[in-house]
Amino acid sequence: YVAKTTRTGVRVYQPDDDRNSPRRLAMVADLREAIQRHDLVVVFQPKLETATGIVRGAEALARWHHPAHGFVPPDEFIPLAETSGLIRPLTLHVLEVALRRCASWRRMGHDMHVAVNLSPNSLQEADLPDIVARLLGQAGVPASALTLEITESSIMDDPAGSLVTLDRLHALGVKLAIDDFGTGYSSLGRLRELPIHEMKIDKSFVQRIAVDHRDRAVVRSAVQLGHALDLEVVAEGVEDEQTLNHLRLEGCNLVQGYFISKPLPADEFADWLAARVPQLGQA
Ligand code: C2E
Ligand code: MG
Ligand code: MG
Ligand code: MG
């Protein structure tokens, strides 16, 4: 077959592949095995308070190293999981690993939360809140230390159904974040009704604020909207110091990005965290 090359590596699966193409079925089988064997790795990227530099938490991100094809980016295997019935076991695996790690940071004395990404379909699963409650209990992590990140479009797919799930998660004490804010089509009215506590401005707006006044205007409006709705506002994709300085000026509460740290394997993340603590106060 002809594999297409992408920025991140070799594209072995095309989202528009026929559902039953041999190539796609082989990848689904490999992904299923990787999930069952717990071969999917979870990496962690810190979230920092912009004003103080304090590490508030970390986002868990899934990584798949395919035995033959090498690194497959999440933008490829997450859609594959979503369309092949594998997103549920994948999500539960990431949740379990993330909560276990969060428990260990907290035992080391770091008052940290962990954030896990949810796929749109997960909000349609009625037992999600019960499962989350059970995993929190097993890990010994308070519900308030877990943030679930959802996208605008996942709510807009089925606003009424998702709201039931979101309300139940909120009732548990779990925090909810709107991810990739600005890229979806959320109605502002709906945003106001959701039990969310955090807005993450998409990196496509953040990355050029130091050089483009239009992007700066978009980010400024998003920060103002977030604050008006009593949300904490996070900027993702902070790659340099000028961008961080602008975000500080705009009053953006939290930052995440390569300038602070790339997503790290759990052990490296724990070392990063330990080394960072004495320097609190310097972002
Ligand atoms: P996301 O949740 O918006 O995660 C942020 C993405 O931006 C991550 O890409 C992260 O590595 C990347 N990133 C962080 N800082 C920077 C930066 O300074 N510059 C740039 N250019 N990129 C930065 P990643 O890990 O490839 O994940 C892509 C998307 O895949 C995530 O977007 C999320 O939607 C999805 N994803 C990843 N892991 C999971 C998972 O366990 N479950 C679900 N449902 N989705 C996941
Ligand atoms: Mg996210
Ligand atoms: Mg995001
Ligand atoms: Mg994103």
Confidence class for position 152, pLDDT limits 50, 70, 90: confident
Judge whether residue 257 has pLDDT over 50: yes
122 CB near ligand 1 (under 6 Å): no
Q: Is 203 in the pocket of ligand 1 (CB under 6 A)?
A: yes
| ipTM of the prediction greater than 0.90, yes or no | yes
For ligand 3, the distance from its centroid to the CA atom of residue 234, given in whole angstroms, is 10
Q: Is the CB of 237 under 6 A from ligand 1?
A: yes
Mutate to test the pocket of ligand 1, among 236, 238, 243 (most ligand atoms within 8 A of CB): 236
Nearest alpha carbon, ligand 1 atom 12: 237
Determine the distance separating the centroid of ligand 3 and the alpha carbon of 51, expressed in angstroms.
Answer: 21
With a cut of 90, say whether residue 115 has pLDDT above it: yes
Dihedral sign (CA 139, 142, 143, 149)? negative
Mean pLDDT of 132-149: 98
Looking at residue 17, its pLDDT comes to: 61
Check residue 199 and give its pLDDT: 96
Rg (CA), the chain: 19
Region of residue 135 (left: phi > 0; alpha: psi -120 to 50; beta: else): alpha
* pLDDT surpasses 90 at 158: no
pLDDT at 278: 58
- For residue 260, what pLDDT is reported? 97
Mean pLDDT along residues 119-124:
90
Report pLDDT digits (tens) over 218-228: 999 999 999 99
Percent of the chain with pLDDT over 70: 91
CA 97 to chain CA centroid, Å, is 14
Give the model confidence (pLDDT) of 64-88 as tens digits: 999 999 999 999 999 999 999 999 9
Q: Is the CB of 164 under 6 A from ligand 1?
A: no
Least confident segment among 4-8, 20-24, 102-106, 194-198? 4-8
61 touches ligand 1 (CB under 6 Å): yes
| Ligand 3 center from residue 177 Cα (angstroms) | 10
Atom of ligand 1 nearest to the CA of 73: 26
Q: Which of the pair, 12 or 78, is modelled with greater confidence?
A: 78
Split at pLDDT 50, 70, 90, the class of 9 is low
Q: What is the pLDDT of residues 162-185, one digit of tens each?
A: 899 999 999 999 999 999 998 877
Give yes or no for residue 5 having a pLDDT over 80: no
Per-residue pLDDT band for 10 (boundaries 50, 70, 90) equals: low
* Alpha-carbon torsion, ordered 97, 162, 206, 220, to 10 deg: -130
Average pLDDT, stretch 127-151?
A: 97
Is residue 99 predicted with pLDDT exceeding 90?
Answer: yes
pLDDT number for residue 1 = 33
- Say how many C-beta atoms besides its own lie within 10 A of residue 81's C-beta: 25
pTM of the model: 0.93
Q: What's the pLDDT score for residue 188? A: 75
Mean pLDDT for 90-97 is 97
Cβ(246)–Cβ(209) under 8 Å?
Answer: yes
**Listed residues: CB within 5 A of ion ligand 3:** 179-180, 236
> What confidence score (pLDDT) does residue 239 get?
98
Distance separating alpha carbons of residues 280 and 218, to the nearest angstrom: 30
Decide: 94 in ligand 1 pocket, CB within 6 A: yes
Measured from the CB, is residue 180 less than 6 Å from ligand 1? yes
- Output the average pLDDT for the chain: 90
Q: What is the pLDDT of residue 63?
A: 98
d(CA 255, CA 270): 19
Counting ligands in written order, the one closest to the CA of 149 is: 2
* 7, 43, 61, best to mutate for ligand 1 pocket (most atoms within 8 Å of CB): 61
pLDDT, mean of residues 236-242: 97
Q: What is the 3-state secondary structure (H, E, C) of the chain?
A: CCCEECCCCEECCCCCCCCCCHHHHHHHHHHHHHHHCCCCEEEEEEEEECCCCCEEEEEEEEEEEECCCEEECHHHHHHHHHCCCCHHHHHHHHHHHHHHHHHHHHHCCCCCEEEEECCHHHHHCCCHHHHHHHHHHHHCCCHHHEEEEEEHHHHHHCHHHHHHHHHHHHHHCCEEEEEEECCCCCCHHHHHHCCCCEEEECHHHHCCCCCCHHHHHHHHHHHHHHHHCCCEEEECCCCCHHHHHHHHHHCCCEECCCCCCCCEEHHHHHHHHHHHHHHCCCC
